[in-house]
Structure 1
């Protein structure tokens, strides 16, 4: 495994940070290449011509796009500190919940924060229903896989930092400690793990980023006929 490892990413992206966390957990040295998503580089377009998105993992001359795919590649390539369980059923369930967490919880939360008026209420209700499943999945456990941090923890690791910033920017509360006590406790503990903490972007960077994003979305909406 002597090939160079590089990550093309953005510090503002929760998808990119999970790749960094996985590499750090495995003890893999890597070079981080910051991408300007408003002015995409020839390097990004070369290595991810299909989606033109970050993150992209470069292992030697092999590019791997899509964060969930990258996590599995990292786990299969570097065997120390496995991310996925050994048991086939548990592995399948970890993959299932990871896909669910991205499609329903992450994108559901984003839709709720993006929406206005009545649409916001509907989107919020839908997102909260999705988070209720994560609450059940973590109940009574230290990490989603049990006693060790693993695949699903990294996938939902955006919740403690990114979600709280979105809550601040939009003046909404989603991860309520009374409604989701187990998930809230997991989030509080997860963000304090040194390896996790050292990678997260400064809060003010994300606050400014999301303020600009929502301002742009409002201007687009206002300009529609």
Structure 2
């Protein structure tokens, strides 16, 4: 499936099918035990990615690529960053805007659309948490190459790691497709992905596993 086709499927899922579920998952509202493990895993991964960035981001322009409901956006702004928060889902952008504290709003520019658009400009750092997990290695290579050309510092992002559980889920998704199924994650081995995106240098930032949430943190420094 091409990048554009995958992006359209992701947009449909998050803007129509899953908006309420993601709004609840990224809040303090009670959720099921399984979703609570996902929430905890995402909190740990967000902290891991933020830990790879400078503590003081004052005056730096940072792209939150695939910002969702804005949890990462708020933390970047609290560190002083000038944040461009972009998501493919206008519905999630609306939630993120509504949730952002008033004293941080002058540091954040929200945009709905393609997180890879050159129209967004240049950045000091890029964060892409769980927004590249649906794409092939070639698509990730092209995405990182385009971002690297406009980024002075690091690009931190996540992929779905190539584990037995995720590979089983991936094959099941291919064998039993459903129209309302969430977009299928494509697992990647960090070493293989590193060869695919070469000559960009890839650094492994570690894995977070929390119940059904399994994600690998990586960093590229142009």
Shorter-chain TM-score above 0.5: no
TM-score (norm 1): 0.33
Question: 1 or 2, which has the higher helix percentage?
Answer: 1
Question: 1 or 2, which has the higher strand percentage?
Answer: 2
State the structure with more CA Rg. 1
Which protein, 1 or 2, shows the higher relative CO under an 8 Å CA cutoff with sep ≥ 6?
Answer: 2
